[in-house]
Amino acid sequence: MDNRRPEYLVPALIAGAVAGVLSGIPFVNCLCCLWIIGGAALATHLLAKKTPGPLTAGDGAIVGALTGIVAATVDALMGIPLRPLNEAFLHRFMASLARVVDQLPAGWQDWVQRGTSTGFSLAGFFLGLFISAAIFAVLGVLGGVIGVSLFGRKKIYPPPPPATQGPANAAV
Amino acid sequence: MDDTLSPASPAVVRRAVEPAFAVTFLGALAWIAAIFLAPYLRSRSSGAASFLYAVFAPVCHQIPSRCFYFHGFPLAVCGRCLGIYAGFLAGLAAYPFVRGFRKIALPPVRLLILLSLPAGIDFAGGFVGAWTSPIWVRFGTGLVWGVILPYYFLTGVSELLLWRSVRKSGASTRASPDGTGLDNLGTKHVE
């Protein structure tokens, strides 16, 4: 029996990059964790196309976790140039919300200010990346196994039977 | 759900599923507790609140108008995400009774599609501007979808644990070539 593992890395890199970009763009990221789950399912689809046999749930879990880690890295890297855009978006959104909703608690401006005014720090970046990678990997496992359920159950056809020898040969 | 007998010994399967279930259950409980802890800490002006909100920021937009409030501040995730996580925990709590620990199987795809439909329709309608769902509808549709998710997650994690134990014994862990979709670890890929 073939005991080789499929090649997980390339599908995880492709799908992780797509999911990371989509989850990092302001407004587009309103789909929350679904980008990561969807990205992991996409990775499983790519893996299933490259793998001759059916995939197992474990295959989906591995490629999904890798996809999540790649997506977290891409998301974190995209966050550096997009940080001013994200802050401006948040301020504009909260200001417009405060005009129409009286439900916002008092002092929300201070809350937003505290959340966005902290400058960039390398330690903070790597801590955030580590936490994101752990969370995205878990979500990726989920998406990868769902992907196996959707794409990974290919029918394997048995090899053709060996050519039968004719009666003339058999008699020799 | 499928009731196919596993070719792997039920005792071996149980040794993989039980720890996966325990860790996942504790993790899900801690995750939901942290969602409620963030606004509570914010109301107490604790600096840890910012850290908790930041932890959830990569997986949720955290738009205040779409969040439930606790102690005067929005939860760390939106209503739909809270529904998904609550549904995950509910599905996990039902796991021992629905599936048990002696076998590993993926749920039928049709069930996944059926339970995904409410959230999908609700999101699509909101996205194209056909309607704006109240937060309880978002929560409810997320909850319905979340219920099935632990059956996928636990299957994947349990199978990874099974791989480790089977690899120690030197056996193969690849899918069977007979086209049944039943790999030799016992995972049944249900239609």
CA distance A28 to chain B (A): 10
Query: Which range has the top average pLDDT, A149-153, B1-5, B16-20, B47-51?
Result: B16-20
What pLDDT does A153 receive?
72
Residue A54: CB atoms within 10 Å:
23
The DSSP letter of residue B182 is: B
Beta pairing, strands B69-70 & B73-74:
antiparallel
Distance between CA A92 and CA A115 in Å, rounded? 14
Give the mean pLDDT of B177-190: 47
**What percent of chain B is predicted at pLDDT more than 70?**
84
Q: Quote the pLDDT of residue A108.
A: 59
In the stretch 79-108 of chain A, residues with CB closer than 8 A to chain B read 93-94, 97, 101, 103-105, 108
Which single residue is written with the structure tokens 């916002």? A104
Does residue B178 sit in helix, strand or coil?
A: coil
Q: What is the pLDDT of residue A54?
A: 87
Q: Do B59 and A155 touch (CB under 8 A)?
A: no
pLDDT at A170 over 60: no
pLDDT, tens digit, 9 for 90 and up, residues A118-146: 567 888 889 989 999 999 999 999 999 99
Per-residue pLDDT of A39-93, as tens digits, reads: 999 999 999 998 888 899 999 999 999 999 999 999 989 888 877 766 666 666 6
Which H or E element spans position A134? helix A122-151
Give, for B74, the enclosing helix (H) or strand (E). Answer: strand B73-74
Give me the helices (H) in chain B, please.
10-43, 48-56, 79-98, 109-127, 135-146, 149-169
Residue indicated by tokens 């969040």: B67
Q: Which of residues 131-170 of A touch B (CB under 8 A)?
A: 131-132, 135-136, 138-139, 141-142, 144-146, 148-150, 152-153, 155-158
- ipTM for the predicted complex comes to 0.82
**Whole-structure pTM value:** 0.80
Bridge-partner residues for B69, per DSSP? B74
Percent of chain B with pLDDT over 90: 57
Q: Which residue from A3, A53, A101 is facing B173, i.e. has the nearest CB?
A: A3
Which of B72, B160, B174 is the closest to A105 by Cβ? B72
Distance of CA A127 to the CA centre of its chain: 19
Nearest alpha carbon to residue B157 among A49, A136, A144: A144
Mean pLDDT of B4-33: 85
Q: What is the pLDDT of residues B103-161, one digit of tens each?
A: 888 999 999 999 999 999 998 888 888 888 899 999 999 999 999 999 999 999 999 99
What six digits make up the tokens of B50?
Answer: 């910012």
Please enumerate in sequence order all residues whose Cβ is within 8 A of that of B185, keeping only pairs 6 or more positions apart, or say none: A56, A58, B8, B104, B159, B162, B163, B166, B173
Report whether pLDDT(A158) > 80: no
Pick the residue of B51, B65, B153 with the most A CBs within 10 A to test the interface with A by mutation: B153
Q: String of b and e for B38-68 (b: at least 16 CB within 10 Å)?
A: bbbbbeeeeeebbebbbbbbbbbbbebebbb
Minimal-distance CA residue of chain A relative to B43 = A105
Answer yes or no: do B156 and A144 touch at CB < 8 A. yes
**Is there a contact between A97 and B64 if contact means CB atoms under 8 Å apart?**
yes
Average model confidence (pLDDT) across chain B: 85
Distance CA B167, CA B171 (A): 6
**Is residue A124 within 8 Å of residue A37, measured between CB atoms?**
no
